[in-house]
Amino acid sequence: MYWRAISEDQPGPKWAGLFREYWPDYQRWWLKEGDSMRASYMESVRMLKRHMPEMLPLYDQLCELAGGGDQASRFLSFYCPPPYLSGCSQALWPGKAPVLVRNYDYNPNAFDSLILHTNWQGRQVMGTSDGLWGLVDGMNDAGLAISLTFGGRRIVGEGFGVPLILRYVLQTCTTAAEAEEVLKRVPTHMSYNVTVVDRTRKYFTAMMAPDRPTIITHAAVATNHQENVEWISHARFTATVERERYLLQRLTLHRDTEDKFIAAFLKPPLYSTAFDHGFGTLYTAVYRPRKKQMEIRWPGTTWPLSMDAFEEGTRQVQIPGAA
Amino acid sequence: MATTVLKNISEIRRFFHRNEDPVYFISATNFNLLGIDEWVKNFKYICYIDCYDGKHPNVFCPSEQPHAEFQSIEDINNYLLQHKEVIDFIKRRGGKPKFVFLMFDEETERLSKEFGADVWFPKAKLRQSMDNKIETVRIGNKAGVPSVPNVLAEVKSYEDLRATCEQGGIGHDLVLQSAFGDSGHTTFFIKSEADFRRHEHEIIGEGEIKIMKRIDCRGSAIEACATSQGTIVGPLMTELVGFKELTPYRGGWCGNEILSTAFPPKVRNQARDLTFKFGEQLRKEGYRGYFELDFLIDKKTGDLWLGELNPRITGASSMTNHAAFAHADAPLFLFHLLEFSKKKFNLDVDELNNRWADPEMIDGWSQMVIKHTDDSVDICTSAPETGIYKMLEDGRVVFDRFDYHRRAVESENEAFFLRILGPGDYRYEGADIGILVTRGRSMTKAFQLNDRARKWIHGIKQSVSGRPLPVAEASPAFADPAFKIM
């Protein structure tokens, strides 16, 4: 896997270059059920305006950089995209300082391998990019960290792709309490568990779904189911119950140091090598909100990144079984 | 025949020996009701785990179908009730089936109804409400069975908890219990903010929590059965709690002992008396049948406090139902079946209770639930099978013969082991390896594991082996940032 860390303060040539590079693949994916299955530009903008009005100027800028095309703009709105699933585990270290750790389990061929650091709209945000301006995990300069796991439910409804919702939280919130209000309000198109922690270690997990109100829980662990397993085959496939049980045991039975806690994510049963089934662990991310630092880890290697001194770079990572 | 009234124990025993109704215990294993099939004709176990490799004549295990990892015992039962082989088995045997469970929920009730089966327990909804620890305190108070000084309150943060405890005058060395759940999983020992942080996800937002002053106490367990003729009370058992050789859960139950002199006569009698009162109160609340109470016995004063209520059979039921009195009269669970059979019976419950209180009626046994206690995960490749094991002179534990009767254990140098973990299963911290039943005690007078128990645990654990799960090794390489392959 070829990974890049890219920093660009304002939407500009770097972002435009990334768009050009990723767009053909995204376009193919976005069109896989046909153009008519996706929301119109007008509806997409209307929904953005209704649910994330603060994002509109940024959205317009990005559409412009993307060439201003209809499909690209509709794609960038993240409104009712094609369904997509992933694995993932995330948990909050029970020590004194807030530390959010997560594994991202996904198909390596459909992943950006991109860490993006931006200063859009005057707010620094860094995290693991998805869909060019969405995030699957990230943190902002207020020390608010956020991460998602797929919620293990098949239902698809009207709402936004969750990576944009994460971006929206980081662009507009500074505390867990503020993030809670946003996540209760913004509609998602599929079910996701979103864990948020702020620099004071206030945290929550929002169980978001298109067909029912967001459930705000005090869960410090999230894997790929919500309150109960609903999609049995997905649960078996991803071992979501086993991973949750394992993480809960780590929390309650052990007094792990931060490093030991993180190391647990790089070993089975959390760390998965089931790439031949499409869902291996692509990386482990660690967020330290007070230090405004993050790390991407793989077995045997760590890539540290800092909000204030972000260094661009690349890594070629060989994960046996992954492309 | 149907209108006759059973007049004594002998007739009750005969009634079950001639029983024609198919009765099923549906559960992960048959451990809790081990041996009941020998008292009740047409009694079968339907289990998820075959602890006996097909060698137990009354245990039926359907072949494994794909399923999600179970989140509860209820999940297992609901899976079993929807399994074609189980449905065929029950249909083939005919009659109007009666089901008993360790745990069940409203979904289980719905599935049982589809079978046309009767669930021989009070309704799940009622059980659920009684299982709520906060409700238990209330029932206890009504029955005159006191609980440890406690406060029932919602907890918002550690500071909030401290304030609540100061107000309640119970100090800051605390035991917290959420409304539901087994001991060990929902019992939190909290003395500091660090303790609180480890459990806050289980405390905050969980509604009312039982906050108890931590007292220096011994755990004990007692089982009883609330019948139309009064509450029948079993013996007071010791509890093995939190031994690190057996369980990773601090404060978690890991076994019991039954012996006549485990507690002073005064404590035993008081426990029996309080259990009787509690049972009578349960009847008023609409509950009937088998239940278990935990009493916490203050080490210094000998005071008895109500710990928790389990409105069901439990992990200790096999102890109660195999004690000498059970063989002399009838196992306690038989009275549960009797109560739900709608058969009329007359029984002098006082006389029975007095007889069971006689120390002569108790022989010494202990059981240990052995879990994987190491912080490791692997896949089990071999595990000791169910049967009778011998301890050799040098302390080694060896398999002697297959048996599924725990009474087949002849001496303190033998033990009955019931296998739970089998080859191919994940072995993780907290996974059940099996249950070991021995004659005599496994604890010292000071309630610590004795040497013999330690040797047995070691002997069993040593014969479990596993292979590691696959791990990836990623090697990073700096690369030319010229292109990306998607």
Interval B283-315: pLDDT, tens: 999 999 999 999 999 999 999 999 999 999 999
Say yes or no for a CB contact (<8 Å) between A319 and B474: yes
pLDDT score at A227: 84
Structure-token pair, residue A248: 């809960």
Closest CA to B25 of B98, B95, B132, B131: B98
Stretch A124-130: mean pLDDT, rounded?
A: 97
Lowest mean pLDDT among A88-97, A104-113, B112-121, B240-249: A104-113
pTM summary value: 0.89
Say yes or no for a CB contact (<8 Å) between A315 and B479: yes
ipTM: 0.84
Nearest to B474 among A217, A254, A317 (CB): A317
Stretch B95-109: mean pLDDT, rounded?
A: 96
HSE-CB at A155 with a 13 A cutoff on CA atoms is: 16
Interface of B with A in 110-149 (CB under 8 A): none
* Closest residue of chain B to A232, computed from CA coordinates: B68
Chain A interface includes B328 (CB < 8 A): no
Chain B interface includes A236 (CB < 8 A): yes
pLDDT band at B2 (very low <50, low <70, confident <90, very high): low
- Separation of alpha carbons A102 and A122, rounded Å: 27
pLDDT score at B477: 65
Provide the H-helix boundaries in A268-307: none
Q: How far apart are the first and last CA of chain A?
A: 6
- Separation of alpha carbons B3 and A260, rounded Å: 68
Residue whose structure tokens are 């979501």: A240
pLDDT score at B352: 95
Q: Which residues, at least 6 apart from B313, have a Cβ–Cβ distance to it below 8 Å?
A: B32, B33, B100, B102, B223, B290, B292, B333, B336
pLDDT band at B484 (very low <50, low <70, confident <90, very high): very low
Tell me how many residue pairs between chain A and chain B have CB atoms under 8 A apart: 135
